[in-house]
Amino acid sequence: MIWRALLDRARGRIRIGEDLAYLVPDAAYAARMQKPDAPVWGPVEIGPCRCGRAFEERVITSALPSDDADDDAWERAPVAVDGWVCEPCGVLRYPRPMTPDQITALGHRGAALAREGRPREAEWWFTRITWDWPTWVAGYLDLAQALRARAAREQDPARVAKLRESAREAYVAAFRAASGEPPEEAARMTAIARIALAEIAVEERAFARARDALDACRNLALAPEQRARVDEITAYLDEERHVFGDAAAMLRPYMRLQGEAHRAIEPAARSRIVAAVATLEAYAAAHPAHWQSKWMAAKGSAALDEARAIELWRAAWRAHPDVGDIVREHALALLERDLVDEALAVNRDATARLPADSKLWCNRAVCEVLAGDLRGARASVAESRRLDPADPIARALEARLASLGSERPAAAHARGARGAASLIGSRRRGRREKKPTRVARAGLSTITSSASPACRPWAAACAPCAPPPSPSSRSSSAERSGSAASGTCRPSMISPPWRAADGTAHHAREALRSARSRAWPRGVAS
């Protein structure tokens, strides 16, 4: 391998894995290259070039696979295809016949890069598949996912728009190519692409286009999970959840969340935050079942240090007493105001409604310590430990309560509160200090709390500003090659995971057997 690399370097050759590559001279040249309409089924004999030299096998590409998002040649003309080259003359012929195993290997490589969070490189490998086998649906689905993953990372709005447009083109190519599949498979692939097009339209706030894509899906024989996804996006549009998403995005940097630093509210931003809270309150009034808007409104009001924040928490809890995220934040807000008895009542009600939530039992134990009920605190922390033996806070609190022994209630309560404070403090690092109430001095304002549930894009019970790809819309060559990885969730975009599905090689061999004609390589002269 070392000698071959040295020899390649001496000859000015470039390798991509085991393959020699030919870099197209410039982006304008690459832009003139016409994408093939169909694969070439081999074997194929290629005669010599017009200069008399034999053509050599190369991967013809406008850029090398790299994670450099500023590669101008690739951004202007993304080309990667297996073919033949006469380098002295600059004559290219492509595509070269590729076996199912070779295409499978390309999919494996692209999926591995996608799992590693390298979507630009994954895009290169999936582009190569779509040029080698331009009628294979799964290649386009993978390529579109890689493009959307790139868009999720981008900060430049113009580049995000371009990547989304490229993803949209890949999905359109996918459902066009699906027409050549068996009817059942064609319907499944078309639904995947249509649902993804609806998601991109939602991300771009093109709601009419999103509804058109969803309407097209309803005419297909959808799988149950695809039907559920269509209904989910439809509900998102009907309830105008982008209104919630915009307001939530405005508040997010200023919210005080567990383990996270928050931005100080600048005078210029205060009016926008006040407006965002008002928008969330109005949205919650219009959509009473949407608890996330109440959660966000209360957190926003707390960020503004408004006295009415506690009333917003009370209203949210009365409307949704069985939502753990609301219970935890409400109880914490009460403790920060030294309302121990009310916080204890909230936690006792919560453990009755949600008896399997170990952290609620631990929070209840903290409140019982502050209220002087050590017997109740021991029972509650024991239940928390039974439900989650690995919770270090509950374990340490249990040990602290055990150390109190049979002390008199008053002394035990004072020592227990101080001890619990030192243990629970790790739950809530980074919060801004409040006035030194009895609870805050004890450190119990750091009671177990949740990170922002309203900022988990499209969690099971949540609906922020844009939906990610559903499990049903992720079938692709990367999936079929046995990949499984997750992307990064962001409010407006999701980097989609790569899951395992049926085998690429089987699907490819079926396509190979079903081919009835041969397409000859296309020549592009320099």
Q: What secondary structure does DSSP assign to 123-174, as a single string?
A: HHHHHHHHHHSTT-HHHHHHHHHHHHHHHHH---HHHHHHHHHHHHHHHHHH
Distance (Å, whole) CA 430 – CA 298: 19
pLDDT band at 68 (very low <50, low <70, confident <90, very high): low
Model confidence over 94-125: pLDDT tens digits?
A: 999 999 999 999 999 999 999 999 999 999 99
Cα R_g (the chain), whole angstroms: 29
Residue 64 DSSP one-character state: -
Q: How many CB atoms lie within 10 A of CB 75?
A: 18
Please name the residue that has the structure tokens 């309302």.
Answer: 339
Structural domains present in the chain: 1-147 (no CATH), 240-320 (no CATH), 334-404 (1.25.40.10)
What would the mean pLDDT of 317-342 be, rounded to a whole number? 94
Between 53-57, 112-116, 384-388, 475-479, the lowest mean confidence (pLDDT) is in 475-479
Take residue 371 and report the two structure tokens written for it: 């209220």
Closest CA to 135 of 165, 103, 101, 87: 103
Query: For position 69, what pLDDT does the model report?
Result: 53
In this prediction, what percent of the chain has a pLDDT beyond 90?
57
According to DSSP, the residues that pair with 23 across neighbouring strands are 61
Query: For position 455, what pLDDT does the model report?
Result: 35
Contact 440, 319 (CB under 8 A): no
Q: Is 443 left (phi over 0), alpha (psi -120 to 50) or beta?
A: left
Contact 48, 54 (CB under 8 A): yes
According to DSSP, the residues that pair with 56 across neighbouring strands are 85
pLDDT band at 388 (very low <50, low <70, confident <90, very high): very high
Model confidence over 164-186: pLDDT tens digits?
A: 999 999 999 998 898 888 888 88
Please name the residue that has the structure tokens 């969070």.
Answer: 117
Contact 8, 14 (CB under 8 A): yes
Taking 70 as the threshold, does the pLDDT of residue 489 lie above it? Answer: no
Please name the residue that has the structure tokens 């996330």.
Answer: 292
Taking 50 as the threshold, does the pLDDT of residue 516 lie above it? Answer: no
Model confidence over 435-485: pLDDT tens digits?
A: 333 333 333 333 445 544 443 322 222 333 333 333 333 334 433 333 333
* pTM for this predicted structure: 0.66
Amino acid letter at 202?
Answer: V
Model confidence over 238-251: pLDDT tens digits?
A: 999 999 999 999 99
